[in-house]
Structure 1
Amino acid sequence: MGSPPPISRPMRNLLAGFYTSLLGTQMTTVALAFAVLASGHGAAGLGLVLAAGRLPTIAFVLVAGVLADRLPRRTVMLITDAVRGGSQAVLAVWLFTGDVPLIVLMFFAAVDGLGNAFFRPALTGLIPTLADKTGLQRANALIGFGRSFGSLAGPAVGGLLVALTGPATVLAIDAGTYLISALFLVAVPRDTAAPRPRRTSMLTDLREGWTEFISRRWVWTIVAQFSLVHLTTVPAYMVLGPQIAADSLGGPQSWGFILAGFGAGSVVGGLLMVRFTPHRPMLVATLGMLWFVPACLALALHAPLAVIIGTGFLAGIGIGVFSALWATVLQANVPTPVLSRVSAYDWFGSLVTLPIGYTLVGLLAGPFGTAFPLILGAVTMAVTCAAVLTVAEVRHLTVEPTRTP
């Protein structure tokens, strides 16, 4: 195995800004949850706030994918950083003055979700312009490492800050990280949109992206899996986890440590993908997702905190591996001019069920208890992974590029 290719200066600037903003975002995960709970809105209210954050992402991500293929992607990312940073600053000021009504928390979560809708497809499309084919997996692994590091450090620091100072301080810090991210993005060369032989309508561009998406069975199969996982597994863990931590594990610090354990695993998974290139990437990625089964079961059974953190660590390894490999396979096998649109369909299909899941899980936990939604989430993950592995393209796909110029 030779030395990995060097990372270009523009890619280093992108990574620096991305890492900074992600740290703030992951700190906010804990702050927002306990701002909702401290205001007396309960698990059902937290589910509604999380759902409000996802609905704009789902509603606008397809349009965002088209725009990211039409416009300079760096410009799109700069605008979203500015909007999200301003939104978090206003919410922080409001929280400093007292409790915030549930509808207001939902509104600011929605603004953040709208920014995410435009940022993610633009980022996916920008990376191949900053890294050549030999450095593509490493670049994606380092992006995944940033998400993982944020998941490791952010919740732990955020939980401590919430306990010491309250959620408003964390949100103010998050607003500052978006500003830093934008400053680093300014140092990334402005990319140019792919040349268009003719002017086409938004609908035509969406149709072209859909054709590229649906023509690849391995893509839509995994997206279908994640639509089910985001209906059950993720909402159960993210909504009921803070409630269980508040009731029996010691409060926000414990939930922060649980998320930090997950983040530590993601760091390990991301680092593995910096050095290791599996011959069958989607087979390895799908097997890694199975670690979510014991993570959900440990939380459902109210296992000791150390066990919950440990199983979350293993689940984090799985998502770290999956994230790097999934992005790399998409970028290596989808034509660059439509890459942001295919990524948008990926996001749309994967996330369309998440607001429903966030809304229902708090309601289910009332009559059935917290264990039932978490066990259902574990079963969903196990069954869908088994189903995905029956698809030959998933088992045998490689990262050899098939995209057209």
Structure 2
Amino acid sequence: MTSPADVGLRRARRPEWAGRNYTLLTAAAVVTNLGSQGALIAAAFAVLESGGDAGDVGLVAAARTVPLVLFLLVGGALADRLPRHRVMVAANSLNCLSQGAFAALVLTGEPALWQMMLLAGLGGTGHAFFSPASEGMLMSSVSGDQAGRAFALYRMAMHGAGIGGAALGGALIAVLGAGWVLAIDSVAFLIAGALRAFLDVGHIPAREAGGGMLADLRDGWREFTGRPWLWAVVTQFAVVNAVVTAAEAVYGPLVARDELGGPGPWGLALAAFGAGTVGGALVMMRWRPRRLLLAGSLSVFPLALPSAGLAVPLPVWALAAVMFLTGVSIEIFGVSWMTALHQEIPEEKLSRISAYDWLGSIGMVPLAAALAGPAESAFGRTSALWGCSALIVLLTAAVLTVPDVRRLTRRTEKVTAAPVASASAEGAVGRPG
């Protein structure tokens, strides 16, 4: 028999806003991030160990990214049409099978490049359907004025698992080999899918019959374009994410090799960024800025610092400090952004808006990575890095000219059926919470 003291103890351990769905989602995210971060490293080593070169590694990475971009909008529309947890479980099942097949190929022989590209593409397809459903499910599982704290804790758990997964994956590759790390990732998807199968969607209103997938996508597009703060920030990050990727994934290792003493210092800087994301989530567990997007957008300016630091280049300790600050800043933006979406977007459209958000965030990343080399040849590495910093500063300053970005204000209760017009300057965005 449960005593009142036992009930009180459980409540003390788990805050009121951390309900059953939220707890399951967070636990599943930790499991998948532990496996997936190591698997990304393992996939690259699997390509190299099979006789491939850096170009082949890029082809496998592109094979994962292309279907992710192609199917995101379909995934978002499907997740708003079907029970989201079923879409998530189906996507996890596809990832489990594709990673299991990848592991089997690596463990039993030398996999062909086309096989690895095909399996990476299946993984990207699963991600395309999973991500909008996951974000919509998370936002519908949190309510009240503690949503920001819930999102901060969720992101902190994910980032912490990702840091640990990358470190553990690297160690296990050295001891067991890339194939076993891919197999572990397959099992992680299996466990996460099982956890997500227990999510309760009874609180989500039944979806009304619509006019089909294209009608759903058009409806989501109208929701997206009808909110200036939404499309302005997504457009900003389409470029910001692209130039950050070019600076940190392409130029960073080159600067480390030529100026900083090799991969070790760059690894330290990336680890400092990871620590900063955890620190930023801790900040957002306590800080609840009233003007959500103003605080979030101001925190984007520090993202220009790593490119500038690499252009100088800064000594290792200073670069690590810059990367730590950048990690803190991006979490302040991330939590503020999720809170704004949770507050302003109707529940039944969350996954479609999430899909447009994801598409904007990653759509230009492959192009930027491909153009980084030609840009270095044309302008020089230092000028290209300064150009990355300048683009981030200019775009962030431009976003701050959008009135809704400056005025969107935190409310204590989520609006679940606000019309698109409520995002205008005269609408709910400008009202105090």
Interval of TM-score (by shorter of Structure 1 and Structure 2): 0.7 to 0.9
Structure 1 residues 311 and 346 mapped into 2: Cα distance closer, same or farther (>3 Å)?
same
Structure 2 residue aligned with 1:131: 142
Q: Tell me how far 1:229 sits from its aligned partner.
A: 1.7
Instruction: Give per-residue Cα distances to partners, 1:22-64, cap 9 Å, x unaligned.
Output: 122222343344555665522x554444333222121111111
Aligned counterpart, 2:279: 268
Question: Is contact 1:145-1:267 (8 Å) kept?
Answer: yes
In the TM superposition, residue 225 of structure 1 has moved relative to its aligned partner by: 0.6
Q: Paired residue for 2:301, among 286, 290, 305?
A: 290
Structure 2 distance, partners of 1:90, 1:235, is 31
The answer on whether the counterparts of 1:56 and 1:113 sit within 8 Å (CA) in structure 2 is yes
What does residue range 211-222 of structure 1 map to in structure 2 within 5 Å?
211-222=222-233
Report the CA distance shift for 1:86/1:191 in structure 2 as closer, same or farther (over 3 A): farther
Name the stretch that deviates more: 213-222 or 154-163: 154-163
Aligned length: 401
Residue 9 of structure 1 corresponds to 20
Aligned-pair CA distance for 1:386 = 1.3
Q: Is the 8 A contact 2:17 2:142 kept in 1?
A: no
Q: Which amino acid aligns with 2:130?
A: F
CA distance in 2: counterparts of 1:25 and 1:148, whole angstroms: 12
- TM-score (norm: length of structure 1): 0.88
Aligned residue in 2 for 1:41 = 53
| Offset from partner CA, 1:257-314 (integer Å, 9 cap, x none) | 4433222111111122122110111111122222222222334455444333332221
- Greater shift, 262-271 or 287-296, is seen at 287-296
- Of 370, 379, 394, which residue of structure 2 is paired with 1:359? 370
Alpha-carbon displacement from aligned partner over 1:90-116 (angstroms, at most 9, x marks no partner): 223333456655544433332222112
Gaps of 5+ in 2: 1-13, 419-433
Which of 84, 89, 99 is the equivalent residue of 1:73?
Answer: 84
Residues 277 and 157 of structure 1, relative CA distance in 2, 3 Å threshold? same
Residue 118 and residue 283 in structure 1: after superposition, are their counterparts in 2 closer, same or farther (change >3 A)? same
Q: Is the 8 A contact 2:151 2:339 kept in 1?
A: yes
Do the aligned partners of residues 118 and 172 (structure 1) sit closer, same or farther apart at CA in structure 2, a change above 3 Å counting? same
Q: Which amino acid aligns with 2:198?
A: A
1:380 aligned partner: 391
| Corresponding residue for residue 343 of structure 1 | 354
**Which residue does 1:206 correspond to in 2?**
217
The amino acid of 2:400's aligned partner reads: L
For 2:83 and 2:225, locate their aligned partners in 1 and report how far apart those are by CA, in whole Å: 26
Measure, in 2, the Cα distance between the counterparts of 1:147 and 1:125. 17
Question: Amino acid of the residue matched to residue 417 of structure 2?
Answer: T
Distance 1:259 1:166, change over 3 A: farther
Distance 2:123 2:267 in 1: 21
> Which stretch of structure 1 is more off in the superposition, 45-54 or 264-273?
45-54
- Residue range with higher mean Cα deviation, 201-210 or 141-150: 141-150
Instruction: Decide whether aligned partners of structure 1 residues 392 and 373 sit closer, same or farther in structure 2, where only a CA change above 3 A counts.
Output: same
Return 373-382 or 93-102, whichever deviates more. Answer: 93-102
Q: Judging changes above 3 Å, is the alpha-carbon distance between structure 1 residues 156 and 376 closer, same or farther for their aligned structure 2 residues?
A: farther
Paired with 1:207 and 1:75, the residues of 2 have a C-alpha distance of 23
Q: Deviations over 1:296-341 (max 9, x none)?
A: 2334455444333332221111121211111111111011111111
Secondary structure at the residue paired with 1:134?
A: coil
1:184 corresponds to which of 195, 207, 216: 195
Distance 1:300 1:104 in 2: 39
SS of equivalent residue, structure 1 residue 399 = coil
2:183 to 172, 188, 194: 172
Q: Which residues of structure 1 form unaligned runs of 5+?
A: none
Inter-CA distance 139–30: structure 2 relative to 1 (3 Å threshold):
same
Aligned match for 1:331, one of 329, 342, 345: 342
Supply the AA of the counterpart residue of 1:404: A
Q: 1:83 to 1:245 in 2, by over 3 A?
A: farther
Structure 1 Cα separation of the partners of residues 110 and 269 of structure 2: 26
My pick for the range that moved more, 324-333 or 127-136, is 127-136
Which stretch has the larger CA shift, 198-207 or 98-107? 98-107
1:315: which partner in 2? 326
SS of the equivalent of 2:276 reads helix
Q: Quick one: structure 1 residues 402 and 77, their matched pair in 2 at CA, closer, same or farther if it must change by over 3 Å?
A: same
The alignment's TM-score, normalised by the length of structure 2, stands at: 0.83
Secondary structure of the equivalent of 1:390? coil
Aligned 8 A contact 2:159 2:277 in 1: yes
1:225 to 204, 226, 236: 236
* Aligned-partner SS, 1:26: helix
Match of 1:142 in 2: 153
Preserved CA contact (<8 Å) 1:283 1:394: yes
Larger radius of gyration: 2
Answer yes or no: is 1:393 the counterpart of 2:404: yes
Aligned to 1:116: 127
* In 1, Cα distance between equivalents of 2:199 and 2:152: 19
Please say which of residues 316-325 and 93-102 is displaced more in the overlay: 93-102
Shift of 1:75: 0.7
- CA distance 1:313–1:165, shift in 2 (3 Å): farther
CA contact (8 A) 1:24 1:154 kept: yes
